[in-house]
Amino acid sequence: MPTYEYACNACGHQFEAVQSFSDDALTSCPQCQGELRKLFSSVGVVFKGSGFYRTDSRSSQSASETATPAASSSTSTTDSTPAKPADKPAPAAPSGDA
């Protein structure tokens, strides 16, 4: 269940409450019975880098199998020559209605 942070508009008291998504938001301060507001903060999880580890949620055999083709395909693309540009289509013949 998510944890929500509230602050009182009257006394400034701040606290956290664990509530279900279906629960109504709290409206009165437990200390002074003043009006509450929800505080919003940044997310605690940050994903950085190029991706997840290869070994996460995989057996060691499948991790090594997936790593090998990726490495060989990246080296083969750097060694290959650039593709030949496509031929231009022939211009349309002018119609005789001029």
- Count of domains forming the chain: 1
Residue 73 counted as domain residue? no
Residue 8 counted as domain residue? yes
Residue 84 counted as domain residue? no
The pTM of the full predicted model, rounded to 2 decimals, is 0.43
Residue 26 counted as domain residue? yes
What whole-number distance in Å separates Cα of residue 71 and Cα of residue 74?
5
Q: Supply the range of the domain harboring residue 8.
A: 3-39
| pLDDT computed for residue 36 by the predictor | 95
Q: Does the pLDDT value for residue 16 go beyond 70?
A: yes
| pLDDT computed for residue 27 by the predictor | 93
Q: Which of 17-21, 31-35, 54-58, 88-92 has the lowest mean pLDDT?
A: 54-58
Residue 13 counted as domain residue? yes
Structure token digits, residue 56: 């996460």
Structure token digits, residue 19: 């509530």
Q: Does the pLDDT value for residue 31 go beyond 90?
A: yes
What whole-number distance in Å separates Cα of residue 44 and Cα of residue 42?
6
Which positions ≥6 away from 54 have C-beta within 8 Å?
63, 66, 67
Q: Mean pLDDT throughout 76-87? A: 60
Q: Mean pLDDT throughout 65-87? A: 57
Residue 85 counted as domain residue? no
Residue 19 counted as domain residue? yes
Residue 56 counted as domain residue? no
